[in-house]
């Protein structure tokens, strides 16, 4: 039975990130319950869903907002609009992990505002968005980010295909891209969600500068960030262990779980 005071959470997409969030909710997060999931192929997920202590309903993407107070988007960015639009139209909160996809769908923020909905972007595979948020209350002069990924974490990126770049036989690091976070998100939609989250926390996708490197010498997704602001200068770095999806760091699902825990926690630490 669902406690009437519990916030109902629905998850769209049960891949690397979504299954971990579903498991955490099923095991118990204070004040929250898993009410529904949307999947592309229900048969594929039957065993996982059936194995949960309180199996959620399986609903079509556009209906999960009906069954939830918070919808967590964990699908490819091509599905972002189909998941977030119906949820925020109903005044629900949408947690967005495919944050790169938000840039081409930014009207969803206005839609959420008009209907009492919210869009929550977790720190995800990154670090330090609390400090960037705080610095942005003052004046940030520049934000620079350098991302290095193993070859497997970059395969199939549109920028690499369109420019016919052979990364399979690299022996040393190769700088693939230098430009704004907005352009990086177009070229590497499954690789630089982190840069878009950073840009939205700080000075926006056009002023946030980014480099992407294919690096056969690293086994982790490595991000280094330099921020220059009137209140502080700071450097941050994170080396993410890839999950079963080599493009996605393991910490991403944990970041969403941490965000969900804060929704009803009595003690909240960090902004
Ligand atoms: N914000 C961040 O820091 C990060 C964001 N990401 C992004 O998070 C998203 C999810 O990543 P992963 O879980 O690793 O991907 P994944 O590929 O492991 O899982 C995606 C799931 O969505 C499902 N799916 C596809 N179309 C669907 C549809 N129409 N309806 C329902 N489900 C559908 C797929 O079947 C798959 O199970 C990706 O867009 C990825 O780029 C990944 C890492 C970090
Ligand atoms: O931001 C992304 O798309 C994924 C990423 O870089 C990571 O997992 O380190």
Per-residue pLDDT at 94: 98
DSSP codes of every residue in 117-151: -EEE---TT---HHHHHHHHHS-EEEEEEEEEE-G
Per-residue pLDDT at 5: 85
Rounded to an integer, what distance in angstroms lies between the CA atom of residue 62 and that of residue 53? 25
Per-residue pLDDT at 70: 98
Q: Is the ipTM of this complex over 0.90?
A: yes
β-sheet bridge partners, residue 12: 38, 73
Give pLDDT tens digits for 29-68.
999 999 999 999 999 999 999 999 999 999 999 899 999 9
Are the C-beta atoms of residues 167 and 151 closer than 8 Å to each other? yes
Are the C-beta atoms of residues 212 and 237 closer than 8 Å to each other? no
Burial of 116 (C-beta count, 10 Å sphere; 0-12/13-18/19+): exposed
Per-residue pLDDT at 271: 79
Ligand 1 pocket: which of 186, 252, 256, 259 to mutate (most atoms <8 Å of CB)?
252
> pLDDT per position in the chain (271 positions), as tens?
556 689 999 999 999 999 999 999 999 999 999 999 999 999 999 999 999 999 999 999 989 999 999 999 999 999 999 999 999 999 999 999 999 999 999 999 999 999 999 999 999 999 999 999 999 999 999 999 999 999 999 999 999 999 999 999 999 999 999 999 999 999 999 999 999 999 999 999 999 999 999 999 999 999 999 999 999 999 999 999 999 999 999 999 999 999 999 999 999 998 7
Using CA positions, which residue lies closest to atom 2 of ligand 1?
124
> Could you identify the atom of ligand 1 that is nearest to the CA of residue 194?
3
* Structural tokens at position 192: 């630089």
**Which H or E element spans position 87?**
helix 80-89
Give the homologous superfamily in CATH for domain 129-240: Dihydrodipicolinate Reductase; domain 2 (3.30.360.10)
User: Domain limits of the chain?
Assistant: 7-124+251-264, 129-240
Name the closest ligand to CA 121.
1
- In 3D space, the residue among 205, 198, 203 whose CA is nearest the CA of residue 147 turns out to be 198
Per-residue pLDDT at 2: 57
The helix/strand/coil state of 155 is coil
191 belongs to an annotated ligand binding site:
no
DSSP codes of every residue in 175-232: EEEEEEHHHHHHH-TTT-HHHHHHHHHTT-TTT-EEEEEE-TT-SSEEEEEEEEESS-
164 belongs to an annotated ligand binding site:
no
* Structural tokens at position 22: 């579903």
Ligand 1 pocket: which of 65, 97, 255 to mutate (most atoms <8 Å of CB)?
97
User: Catalytic residue at 45?
Assistant: no
Tokens 């049960």 map to which residue?
14
Q: Is 248 in the pocket of ligand 2 (CB under 6 A)?
A: yes
* Structural tokens at position 182: 């907005």
Q: Is 38 in the pocket of ligand 1 (CB under 6 A)?
A: yes
* Structural tokens at position 49: 């869903």
- In 3D space, the residue among 40, 117, 49 whose CA is nearest the CA of residue 78 turns out to be 40
Which residue among 223, 225, 248, 257 is the active-site one?
223
Residues 6 or more apart in contact with residue 156 via CB below 8 angstroms: 190
Distance 215 CA to ligand 2 centre (A): 15
Q: What is the edge-to-edge ordering of all strands in the sheet holding 7-12?
A: 57-58, 32-38, 7-12, 70-73, 93-96, 118-120
Name the closest ligand to CA 245.
1
The helix/strand/coil state of 63 is helix
Rounded to an integer, what distance in angstroms lies between the CA atom of residue 187 and that of residue 173? 18
Q: Kindly report the CATH number that applies to the domain delimited by 7-124+251-264.
A: 3.40.50.720
């Amino acid at each position: 039975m669902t406690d009437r005071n519990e916030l109902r959470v629905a998850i769209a997409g049960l891949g690397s990130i979504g299954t971990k969030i579903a498991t955490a909710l099923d095991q118990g997060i204070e004040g929250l319950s898993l009410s529904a999931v949307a999947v592309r192929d229900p048969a594929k997920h039957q065993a996982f869903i059936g194995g949960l202590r309180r199996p959620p309903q399986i609903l079509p993407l556009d209906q999960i907002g009906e069954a939830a107070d918070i919808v967590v988007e964990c699908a490819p960015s091509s599905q972002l609009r189909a998941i977030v639009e119906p949820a925020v139209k109903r005044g629900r909160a949408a947690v967005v992990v495919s944050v790169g996809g938000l840039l081409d769908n930014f009207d969803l923020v206005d839609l959420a505002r008009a209907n009492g909905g919210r869009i929550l972007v977790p720190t995800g595979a990154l670090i330090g968005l609390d400090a960037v948020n705080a610095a942005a209350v003052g004046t940030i002069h520049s934000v620079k980010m350098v991302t290095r990924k193993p070859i497997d974490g970059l395969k199939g990126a549109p920028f690499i295909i369109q420019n016919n770049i052979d990364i399979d036989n690299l022996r040393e690091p190769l700088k693939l891209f230098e430009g704004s976070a907005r352009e990086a998100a177009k070229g590497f939609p499954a690789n630089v969600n982190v840069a878009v989250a950073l840009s939205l926390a700080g000075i926006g996708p056009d002023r946030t500068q980014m480099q992407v490197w294919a690096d056969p010498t690293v086994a982790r997704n490595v991000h280094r960030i330099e921020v220059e602001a009137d209140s502080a200068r700071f450097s941050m770095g994170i080396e993410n262990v890839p999950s079963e999806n080599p493009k996605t760091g393991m910490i991403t699902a944990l970041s969403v779980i941490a965000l969900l825990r804060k929704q009803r926690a009595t003690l909240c630490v960090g902004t």
